[in-house]
Amino acid sequence: MSTSETTTMTAPNPAAARIPKKTVKDFKFIKEIGSGSYSTVFLAIESGTNRELAIKAVSKELVTRTKKISQVFREKDILALLTDCSYAVKLYCTFQDERTLYFGLTYCPNGDLLQYITDAGHLEEEVVRFYAAEIIEALEQLHNRHIVHRDLKPENILLTDDMHIQLTDFGSGVIMDNNDSSPQSNGTKNVDEEKKPIKRTNSFVGTAQFVAPEILKRGAIHVGSDLWSLGCIIYQMTTGKHLFRGHHEYDIYNAVARVSYKLPDDFPPLITDLVQNLVRLEPSERLGSEETGGMEKLKSHAFFSQFSYDTKWGNLLNQRSPLETKVKLSSRPKLSNDELETMSSGFDDRVEARLIGLRMASDAPNGIDAIVTGSSNISLSNETSSLHETDNQSTLSDQSSTKSMYNSPSSNSSFNNNAPVVARRLQMPDHALSLSEQASKNVYHKFVQNNLIIKQGILDKKKGLFAKRRMFLITEGPAIFYVDPDAMELKGTISWTADLRIEQKDMKTFLIHVPGRTYYLTDPDQDANTWCKSLISIHYRYYNTDPNRKLSTTTSYSSSSSSSAMQTIVPVTEL
């Protein structure tokens, strides 16, 4: 275990020991409702009480191999301290078997805040105000318990039956209980000691678009890290976009470190002032920190009391949410009593097969319209012979009318599992310059065989019930590489031929079909639409075919095949 992991471990928590123990046989696993880099979340029903729970199943093998053991136990300790917190999911029980740790948590049937932002495009100001207020009260409850979340983002803000928030995913959180931050057990710690800065430093955690600069720089732990994330969330709720953007995570991290962002000219003035006072370089200068007057100062901001509206602090949970429930975003299935009665308890191979079957059955094609709607971050333009970032929609008919920007494939290429990718280069005047810049700035360049990266991003790659977090790299060729971002190891490539097919399941999940295999991928930022549009655009440019038609069942991977598609295969390789 690394030094940084050791320093963030907390002492055994007496509260955690009081969490009831169950076994897997006490529950009926209904369906998968979420997944992460080393865990899968299921809706389950407790057999004895018919109580709905979200069971988080954590792979022991994955957390051991990725050195995340401390995160798992730290999350358990934090949840045990939040049993009386009205804005955080509750930990009801824990249990384990040979392969898996299980956490029984509050089930929130209406999904997360990100789903509603994405579905609506952006939220109305009244809705932004209400949820910003609930997040503030939630952070106040956390910080009063000396807990810093450090990975606050819309995806980690769940919605209950009545559309109030519940914070989740405390694996990146810290309990500030060392000698610098917590009262002495005898209660004699004086005021000056209470205000002493925390010396323990941050380990690198969080999500690029929401992570605070001090976490990037591994500076001192401070509650202001959550206030920075709050500012980013308020901006995303208001606009539907990230405050910090870039072609790659490298660009985003640079922007965060420099606090480099630009608000739209027509951005609401009061929200402008609020965001600017939250998203500041120094944690101590962020509105809501102890140094600026604490949470009461943040609550008194004009945004929460403008005109006739007055936020009812302390009574928000008794108010009706201005955001209406959407059935299509609910994870609760329609299940009859008879179906529930016949369902077996426990988690054996038969239950696992049923859950995988349910998941794959829900992945039926939704048609081209469901995939190509919305905007794409990447488009390929023939008029300018370059790669652009755009918010404009593009259609397949528009693409088919333009001249191909790719060189023709080599006529003597052949299939070889160990062969390098033979790329059809992008015809760009600045191709060599772009490649040189990529080689010097992008840490993933070494994995793509000197091909230009068109799109990259983190995806969770599902295999069985668990997902592994990978950096996916789409390059000229075309080719798809995926890398373990923790170990910085190339884990495989995906064969890209004319037979490749793309399916979008929902805003978070999409599938890549190649002959003989399906890749089940989820985007943590719930932007599967952008991935699909990029893949469709690239595929159409290379093959001039729709990648959503039925997958051929006759395609052969034999090296004796003479089809032209075989000439540009990127072999499937699992390391």
- Known binding-site residues for ATP equal 56
Alpha carbons within 13 A on the beta-carbon side of 308: 0
Q: Has 151 been annotated as catalytic?
A: yes
Which residues, in sequence order, are CB contacts of 534 under 8 Å at separation 6+? 376, 377, 378, 454, 455, 474
Percent helix, percent strand, percent coil in the chain, to nearest 5: 35, 20, 45
Cis peptide before 322 (omega within 30 of 0): no
* Euclidean distance between CA atoms 41 and 169, whole angstroms: 11
Q: Which of 329, 425, 261 is nearest to 119 (CA)?
A: 329
CA separation for the pair 234, 303 (Å, rounded)? 11
Distances in Å between the alpha carbon of 290 and those of 287, 297, 304? 9, 9, 20
Catalytic residue among 26, 77, 112, 151: 151
Phi, psi at residue 286, to the nearest 5°?
-80, 135
Measured CA to CA, the distance from residue 284 to residue 369 in angstroms comes to 48
Q: Rounded CA gap, 168 and 148, in Å?
A: 12
The string of DSSP codes covering 313-344 is TT-GGGSPPSSPP-GGG-------HHHHHHSP
Closest-CA residue to 512 (of 477, 371, 521, 541): 521
> Phi and psi (nearest 5°) for 304?
-95, 5
Whole-angstrom Cα distance, residue 271 to residue 130?
A: 13
Which of 113, 103, 198, 200 shows the shortest CA–CA distance to 152? 113
Single-letter amino acid code for the residue at 245 = R
The three-state (H, E, C) secondary structure of 149-179, written as one string: CCCCCHHHEEECCCCCEEECCCCCCEECCCC
Active site residues per annotation: 151
